[in-house]
Amino acid sequence: MPLLLLLWASACAGPRPPVPQGATIVPPAAWREPHAGGPPIDPSWWRNFQDSRLDALVGRALEDDDDIAIAAQRVEEARAQLALARSQQLPAIDAAASPGTQRSVSAFGAGADQSLVQGQVSLSYDADLFGRLRAGSAAARAQLLATGAARDGVRLAVQGQIVTGYVSLVVLDARLAVLRQTLAARSDALRIARRRSEAGYAPRLDLAQAEADYRSTEQLIPPARSAIAAQESALSIMLSQPPGPVDRTAALDQLKIPPVAPSLPGELLRRRPDVVEAEQTLVAADHRLDASRAALLPTFRISASGGVVASSLLATPVTLFSLGGSVLAPLFQGGRLRAQRDVDAARRDQAAYAYRKAVLGALRDVENGLARARDLTDQEAALELQVEAQQVSLQLATKRYRSGYSPFLEQLDAQRSLLAGQLALVQVRGDRLNAAVALYQSLGGGWRAEEAELRREPK
């Protein structure tokens, strides 16, 4: 008979829908982009830039950021949901007491007053024979792990935003320094052109060209200062502070670009918070599907109660007790339970595709980051040689002009080329720093699922 009951129950639940074949993915064995090895990523990866001011800004952001605080409260909510789900697997015990007084009339017409005191303790327990409650508890635990990974993903994003914003600010400072240095050089050129023109050694065209070149550089400085002020305000807002100045390093070259050692593609799946979040969301959806399938099966409940009744009409209290069980089988729900099963199956499949998308996105981010870091390194090396050549060209053109061997236009072209090269070099150096930040983030920023706090949750 029990075997027949189990067979009938399994027939009610139907076969378990499999995960779609198209949602599976196998990571490659190695990265396509060659790379040099290096030390493992430290969770405090931004310290590798060797800037104490940057360290202080990131630390302040991690303490005061609103998004991190919201994500942390979501973890607490998920933790409470897990406690709620686990509590449903335990027996429910209640106690009741009902004192009172009543008057009754006997068969002979005589009235009698009695005082009654009744106390009772009741217990009920869902045997969870088919695992409905266990599946719900497992789903809540997986959701807690997903929420914890999401919180850590927010922390990683905030770290990246602060470091990128800081680098952008230092790049703007370096750009302004180049403009001011160029303006000083063109001021000297203008002074020499004016003196030569007044002495009759050079045409007024040279003076006009020097004046125009000086003013064209001068007009670039106000928008550069405005860009710095805007970036300071943006970084202050990221730090949950009113707009204001930001303490920072004095030179772009002082920010070091550390080597980044990418892990193997298979290991990346355990080091990216967003991938682990998608994975645990899939696990939670799978357990919810199990719970909805189990809801189609009978429920077995055990109940017991015991108590005493004391009366002023009785010499000794009366002991009462009961023990029993019940089976509740869903016979007709209008298709509600099967529809809920289908809903959870569809949500599980959505989570499976979302997991594959997260994995592919993570692999893409690392491949792109490795390629960009390599190309920017090569570009910076070429630009450094270009700027060195442009500096020599300007020195030679200046000597030729002052000696009267070449027109001022030759020196002017050399000045313009040098300014363009210097600004490009500043930008590429900033891009290299930001590429390192992006690569750190694409590799998970030193985060590991096995080290996450929520991984220590009891199963």
Looking at residue 108, its pLDDT comes to 58
Q: Treating both helix axes as pointing N-terminal to C-terminal, what angle do 273-294 and 336-402 enclose, rounded to 10 degrees?
A: 170
Give pTM, 2 decimals. Answer: 0.85
| Distance separating alpha carbons of residues 225 and 5, to the nearest angstrom | 80
- Where is 352: in which H helix or E strand? helix 336-402
Are the C-beta atoms of 420 and 343 separated by less than 8 Å? no
In degrees and rounded to multiples of 5, residue 8 shows phi and psi of: -65, -40
Looking at residue 324, its pLDDT comes to 85
Give the residues of the chain that fall short of pLDDT 70. 1-14, 35-39, 100, 102-114, 312-315, 450-459
Looking at residue 416, its pLDDT comes to 92
Cα of first residue to Cα of last residue in the chain, in angstroms, is 34
| Distance separating alpha carbons of residues 292 and 92, to the nearest angstrom | 23
| Distance separating alpha carbons of residues 433 and 168, to the nearest angstrom | 9
Which residue intervals of 219-271 are DSSP H helices? 221-238, 265-268
Residue 265 in tokens: 């593609």
| Distance separating alpha carbons of residues 181 and 251, to the nearest angstrom | 14
Q: What does the radius of gyration of the chain's CA atoms come to, in whole angstroms?
A: 37
Looking at residue 266, its pLDDT comes to 85
Are the C-beta atoms of 412 and 400 separated by less than 8 Å? no
CATH assignment of 23-91+132-296+340-456, among 3.30.420.40, 1.10.760.10, 1.10.10.10, 1.20.1600.10: 1.20.1600.10
Looking at residue 33, its pLDDT comes to 78
Are the C-beta atoms of 13 and 294 separated by less than 8 Å? yes
| Distance separating alpha carbons of residues 25 and 29, to the nearest angstrom | 13
Instruction: Summarize pLDDT for 239-255 with one digit per residue, the tens.
Output: 988 999 999 987 888 89
Residue 194 in tokens: 């004016």
Looking at residue 146, its pLDDT comes to 95
| Distance separating alpha carbons of residues 397 and 405, to the nearest angstrom | 9
Half-sphere exposure of 92 (CA within 13 A, CB side): 11
Report domain extents, the chain. Answer: 23-91+132-296+340-456
Instruction: Summarize pLDDT for 384-410 with one digit per residue, the tens.
Output: 999 999 999 999 998 888 887 888 888
Looking at residue 113, its pLDDT comes to 65
* Alpha-carbon dihedral 202, 207, 210, 213, rounded to 10 degrees: -140
| Distance separating alpha carbons of residues 398 and 189, to the nearest angstrom | 9
